[in-house]
Amino acid sequence: MPLKTHHDEQPSLNLTPMIDIVFLLIIFFMVGTKFTELERKLSLTVPNVSAPNLTAAPEKKVVNVYRDGQVELDREIVTLEELTSKLAAARSQYRDLGVLIRGDGSGSYQSVASVLAACKQAGISKLGVSVRVSDGE
């Protein structure tokens, strides 16, 4: 039976890399504060200007196409002609307007195709069709 004649050394944690990173961070922040102090000491007055009134881009319009062929825009049932005119009016306010079309999966594809044509007629170029990803049936 072999006997152990020496004791195994206990594992130790080497802190040198962590200390190096802490010193680098301290140096980084010290240099960064020096730059801001220099900028504050400049006797320069920056001119003031009025900010332009920027508005956020509007949300995509959502068009729902139901199983029976009804079309809904902004929670209001519309005809294809009304859809085209409303989308054209919205596009005149914001040129890059996007439209998301959500069609009923068991409905007629012809209804969705008609909505796509109405969007094209209104000048909408950013179109999306909503689908659900299956779980691998």
Buried b (16+ CB within 10 A) or exposed e, 8-45: eeeeeeeeeeeeeeeeeeeeeeeeeeeeeeeeeeeeee
**Which residues span the domain enclosing 102?**
61-129
Instruction: Give the pLDDT confidence score for residue 13 in this predicted structure.
Output: 84
**Does residue 1 or residue 125 have the better pLDDT?**
125
Same domain, 81 and 32: no
Same domain, 36 and 89: no
In a domain? residue 6: no
Strand, helix or coil for residue 90: helix
- Kindly indicate the confidence band of residue 33, based on its pLDDT and cuts at 50, 70 and 90: confident
Residue length, the chain?
137
Same domain, 75 and 125: yes
Dist CA 16 CA 100 (whole Å): 55
Residue 45 per-residue DSSP state: -
pTM above the 0.95 mark? no
Token pair 């009134």: residue: 53
Nearest 5°: phi and psi at 12?
Answer: -125, 155
Same domain, 69 and 34: no
Same domain, 38 and 72: no
Same domain, 24 and 69: no
**Does residue 132 or residue 118 have the better pLDDT?**
118
In a domain? residue 28: yes
Dist CA 127 CA 100 (whole Å): 6
Same domain, 22 and 65: no
In a domain? residue 136: no
Provide the mean pLDDT of the chain.
86
In a domain? residue 30: yes
| Chain segment 46-73, per-residue pLDDT in tens | 778 787 776 777 788 999 999 999 999 9
Domain count across the chain:
2
The CA R_g of the chain, rounded to the nearest whole Å, is: 32
In a domain? residue 98: yes
User: In one letter, which amino acid is 77?
Assistant: I
